């Protein structure tokens, strides 16, 4: 019998050929939000990796929705044209289905790129005022502006506009970024949301922004295309967002037609008590799956093919995402196929790299 890792998964009109997902990973290499040649190289290599789904990095819906000036964006036609070039390039050679992560960085925004240690950018050096649920800064960063009702409406509209562009350039799936201390998560967590209006206070009120945003994107994103969300299942700190809150949030997302949830965690505050070990977030994917029936994607130190297979076979998740492991070894799916005894098609240019084809007459393949 074949493995689960290499079994197909149907989501609406999209068939993923296997359960391996490349987790979204910001490259800080965009120019005014537009994908660069780095993206062709980076995404191109991952598109031929054999993964079933490649999720492009967090993509800002507005210049002020960025974390850093190097972030990918989809707020303009120029951004869309540059990203379309990457989509076409990936499709020409790769087999992965292509997704995009729709993003507003919330209160963490206006900092330098990762390798410049994410320092706040002064206003006179091109910095901007980030937005959040309340005017409470992430330690060491700019004081954000609390979005008023008009700001909330505009922000949702920016997500809608970006989703329409994503459809127009042929992306297969959107993942809304609701995790890691960014804008949606700023509204969810009682630590960052101290509003007294209908968007703050009770769990119901704190969920409102994320649910309204998801609903608005679902309305414009084609019916046949899946729409998922990444959440931080917990803040890992007392008085913060908890796994139980996530279960309720996912129930509500399910009613809105959400197709899957990626169970990530943390990001609200630096003092989070987060212990990292292989598969450290998998129990949360499992709990959400069990208690809501939602399709879940597990992520976080999943590095071994048999570990990934066990997560799926034991019903803890429906999909597994790899981040750093795929950067380190972009041929991970090929190696996993060998380890799990799966036949797997390579780009024809690379077929001779298969272990069974390294000896003998290469014109008469052994397999
Ligand atoms: C370089 C880098 C960039 C990342 N950028 C994003 C991002 O854009 N969106 C996101 O949701 N997570 C991002 N992450 C988190 C990963 O998607 C993933 O959840 C995390 O690295 C844990 O999985 P792993 O142990 O397989 O790397 C990033 C991680 C890395 C290492």
Ligand 1 atom nearest to CA at 264: 19
- In SS3 terms, the chain reads as CCCCCCCCEEECCEEECCCEEECCCCCCCCECCECCHHHHHHHHHHHCCCCCEEEEEEEECCHHHCCCCCCEECCCHHHHHHHHHHHHHHHHHCCCEEEEEEECCHHHCCECCHHHCCCECCHHHCCCCCEECCCCCCCCCCCCEECCHHHHHHHHHHHHHHHHHHHHCCCCEEEEEECCCCHHHHHHCCCCCCCCCCCCCCHHHHHHHHHHHHHHHHHHCCCCCCEEEEEECCCCCCCCCCHHHHHHHHHHHHHCCCCEEEEECCCCCCCCCCCCCCCCCHHHHHHHHHHHCCCEEEECCCCCHHHHHHHHHCCCCCEEEECHHHHHCCCHHHHHHHHCCCCCCCCHHHHHHCHHHCCCCCCCCCC
Atom 23 (ligand 1) nearest CA = 300
Model pLDDT, residue 346: 85
Query: Between residues 362 and 245, which one has the greater pLDDT?
Result: 245
Interval 142-156 mean pLDDT: 98
Distance from the alpha carbon of residue 251 to the mean position of ligand 1, in angstroms:
25
Grade residue 227 by pLDDT with cuts at 50, 70 and 90: very high
Model pLDDT, residue 354: 87
Model pLDDT, residue 362: 57
Model pLDDT, residue 360: 65
pTM of the model: 0.97
Q: Which residues line ligand 1 (CB under 6 A)?
A: 23-26, 57-58, 101, 177, 179-180, 230, 264, 299-302, 322-325
Model pLDDT, residue 359: 77
* Catalytic positions: 182
Distance from the alpha carbon of residue 182 to the mean position of ligand 1, in angstroms:
14
Interval 255-269 mean pLDDT: 98
Distance from the alpha carbon of residue 92 to the mean position of ligand 1, in angstroms:
26
Report the residue among 20, 21, 25 best suited for mutation to probe ligand 1: largest number of ligand atoms under 8 A from its CB.
Answer: 25
Model pLDDT, residue 241: 98
Model pLDDT, residue 141: 97
Grade residue 344 by pLDDT with cuts at 50, 70 and 90: confident
Atom 6 (ligand 1) nearest CA = 25
Model pLDDT, residue 364: 56
pLDDT over 80 (residue 114): yes
The CATH fold of domain 9-357: TIM Barrel (3.20.20)
Model pLDDT, residue 301: 98
Grade residue 249 by pLDDT with cuts at 50, 70 and 90: very high
Distance from the alpha carbon of residue 196 to the mean position of ligand 1, in angstroms:
33
| pLDDT tens digits, 191-220 | 999 999 999 999 999 999 999 999 999 999
Model pLDDT, residue 361: 59
């Amino acid at each position: 019998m074949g493995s689960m890792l290499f079994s197909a998964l149907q989501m609406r009109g999209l068939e993923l050929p296997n359960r391996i997902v490349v987790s979204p990973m910001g490259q800080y290499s965009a120019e005014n939000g537009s994908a660069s040649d780095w993206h062709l190289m980076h995404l191109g290599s991952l598109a031929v990796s054999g993964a079933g789904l490649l999720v492009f990095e967090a993509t800002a819906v507005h210049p002020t929705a960025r974390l850093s000036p190097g972030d990918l964006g989809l707020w303009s036609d120029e951004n869309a044209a540059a990203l379309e070039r990457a989509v076409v390039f990936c499709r020409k050679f790769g087999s992965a289905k292509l997704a995009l992560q729709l993003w507003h960085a919330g209160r963490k925004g206006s900092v330098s790129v990762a390798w410049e240690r994410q320092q706040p950018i002064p206003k006179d050096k091109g910095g901007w005022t980030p937005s959040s649920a309340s005017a409470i800064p992430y330690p060491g960063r700019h004081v954000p502006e609390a979005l008023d009702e008009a700001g909330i409406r505009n922000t949702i509209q920016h997500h809608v506009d970006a989703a329409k562009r994503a459809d127009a350039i042929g992306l297969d799936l959107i993942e809304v970024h609701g995790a890691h201390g960014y804008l949606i998560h700023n509204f969810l967590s009682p630590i960052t949301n101290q509003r007294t209006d209908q968007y703050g206070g009770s769990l119901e009120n704190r969920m409102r922004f994320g649910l309204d945003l998801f609903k608005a994107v679902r309305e414009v994103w084609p019916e046949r295309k899946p729409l998922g969300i990444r959440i931080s299942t917990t803040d890992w700190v007392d008085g913060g967002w908890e796994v139980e809150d996530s279960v309720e949030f996912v129930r509500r997302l399910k009613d809105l037609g959400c197709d899957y949830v990626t169970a990530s965690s943390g990001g609200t505050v630096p003092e989070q008590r987060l212990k990292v070990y292989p598969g450290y977030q998998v129990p949360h994917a499992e709990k959400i799956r069990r208690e809501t029936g939602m399709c879940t994607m597990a992520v976080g130190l999943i590095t071994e093919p048999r570990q990934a297979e066990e997560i799926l076979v034991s019903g803890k998740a429906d999909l597994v995402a790899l981040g750093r492991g795929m950067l380190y070894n972009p041929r991970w799916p090929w190696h996993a196929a060998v380890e799990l005894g799966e036949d797997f098609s390579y780009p024809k240019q690379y077929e001779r790299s298969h272990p069974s084809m390294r000896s003998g007459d290469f014109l008469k393949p052994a397999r």
